[in-house]
Amino acid sequence: MTELHTDGNDVAGTLGELLAADPTTTLRRCQSCGAERPLGEHRAYRGAGIALRCPACEDVAVLIGDCEGELVIRWYGTLRVPRAAS
């Protein structure tokens, strides 16, 4: 019988592609209004952390915090990351 799942180690290369991408050109589709814009166009608000907001509807797109020397990131919506040509 074939296993239906593996673990996160099996997708390390795919996750590495996401982390290696230029975040300013990565497209994000808003979960609220459906607008698709590069992250570089999102408005950044700084306070206790950083909140990126959708440039179309101003809903929260990304929350970034610094917790004891680690970045804590919460994403909303869908990201589209172009793959590098091989």
Angle at 16 between CA 22 and CA 79, to 5 degrees: 55
Q: What is the pLDDT of residue 86?
A: 61
Q: What is the pLDDT of residue 81?
A: 87
> How large a percentage of the chain has pLDDT more than 70?
97
Of 16 and 72, the structure prediction assigns the larger pLDDT to 72
- For 73, counting Cβ atoms within 10 Å of its Cβ (0-12 exposed, 13-18 middle, 19+ buried), the class is exposed
- Report, as an integer, the average pLDDT of 7-22: 85
Q: What is the pLDDT of residue 1?
A: 59
Say whether 51 sits in a helix, a strand or coil. strand
pLDDT digits (tens, 9 = 90+) for 39-71: 999 999 999 999 999 999 999 999 999 999 999
